[in-house]
Amino acid sequence: EENGHQNKRLKTGANEEDVEDQNKKSPKRKIVLLMAYSGKGYHGMQRNVGSSQFKTIEDDLVSALVQSGCIPENHGEDMKKMSFQRCARTDKGVSAAGQIVSLKVRLIDDILEKINNHLPSHIRILGLKRVTGGFNSKNKCDARTYSYMLPTFAFAHKDHDVQEEAYRLDRETLDKVNKLLACYKGTHNFHNFTSQKGPRDPSAKRYIMEMYCGEPFVRENVEFAVIQVKGQSFMMHQIRKMIGLVIAIVKGYAAESIIERSWGEEKVDVPKAPGLGLVLERVHFEKYNRRFGNDGLHEPLEWTQEEEKIAVFKEQHIYPTIINTEREEKSMANWLNTLSIHDFNSSAVEMQVNNKNSK
C-alpha cells in the first residue's frame, strides 16, 4: 500500500521495481532534524489538521517529506504513524534558528538535499542525526534558549520625545534592563504571564536559568538589541509577557515592584510584546547526551558543525524579516502606544469593580 502511495508521487518513467528497491535499501529509522525558519506569515509551528486556512510550518515540512519520498503519503495525513514530535511549539509569526523535530523516516540518499528541494527558501533543514528508537524531542529536551530582537527605542522613557532612528541606548538604561531581566532567574509562578492558568496550577511554575540583554547594534539606521533567555520550558506568550513587563517598567509606566507582585496569587495586568522579534535559538539535550551521546551508536545532539549554516540563515532570512517588518508595519512602535491603557496598579478585585462600572 505504501509503495502504491509512493508511486503516485514518482516522476513518470520510474517503475515499481525502482520503488521496491528504494524502499528495501532505505529502512525506516528514528532521526532528528535541525530546522530553521522565518515564521512571518505562518500560524506557528504546529500543524492543525483539518484547518487549512491557517498555514503552519509543519504543513510545509510534511508536504516536503512526502514529496521527497522520506515518508508515505498516509503518514503525512496521520503524523502519529511516523512518531512525529516537535521540540517547541512556536507561536504565530515566531521564527527558529535551531528547532528540532524527531520522527521515523526512510533514510534515502541525499535526504537533506531532497527535503530542502521541496521547501520554500525561508524553511531549511540544516542537519540530521540518528537517535534512539524511543526518543521524543519534546520530552527529552532539558532546556530551550530563545532570543528576542527589538529596536532599542522600546526602552526610551515615556516622558521623552524620541526620534526612533536617532535613539541610542545608554549604558545606564541597559544596566537597568539587565537588572530587571535578572529578577526572572530561578523558579517562579508565571500564571500572570500566560492565559488559562490559575495561580494554584502547578504547571505555572517555571524555571529560568538565564536572561540578559546584549550590546546594541545598528541595522538600517535603527539601533537594535537582542535579549537571550534560557529556561526549562515556556508557556504560551510567557517570554513576550516577561519582556513586555520589563519594557513597561523601564519606560516608566509600572513600578519595579510589579515583578514581585506578579508571582503572587492576584491577577496582574501584564502586557505582551509583539511576536515578531522572538526566535527559538536552540534546544538542549544535556541528559540524553550524557547517556547516549558517546555510546558508540549515537552522536550527541550538538550542532557545532552546523553553527555557520545557522548564522548564515539568520542573516539571510530571520534578521532582515524582523528589521523590514518593523520598519514597514511598526509593530513595536504601535504596541508601545498601547502601554498607557494598561492598569499596572490595581488588583484583580479593583479591575472587576471598574469593569462593572464601565459596563
Binding residues for substrate: 146
- Helix, strand, coil tally for the chain in percent (to 5): 40, 20, 40
Confirm whether 18 is a catalytic residue. no
Residue 260, exposed/middle/buried by CB under 10 A (0-12, 13-18, 19+)?
A: exposed
Per-residue DSSP letters for 22-66?
HHHHS-EEEEEEEEEE--TTSS-SS--TT-TTS--HHHHHHHHHH
Cβ pair 256, 249 in contact under 8 A = yes
Cβ pair 106, 69 in contact under 8 A = yes
C-alpha cell at 118: 521541496
Type and span of the H or E element at 217 = strand 217-219
**Of the candidates 326, 344, 329, the residue with the CA atom closest to the CA atom of residue 148:** 326
Distance CA 97, CA 101 (A): 13
* Binding site residue list: 146
**Residues contacting residue 244 through CB under 8 Å, at least 6 positions apart:** 270, 271, 272, 273
Distance CA 193, CA 197 (A): 9
**Local structure of residue 143 (DSSP, 8 states):** E
Type and span of the H or E element at 205 = strand 205-213
**Annotated active-site residue in 60, 91, 109, 161:** 91
Residues classed as catalytic: 91
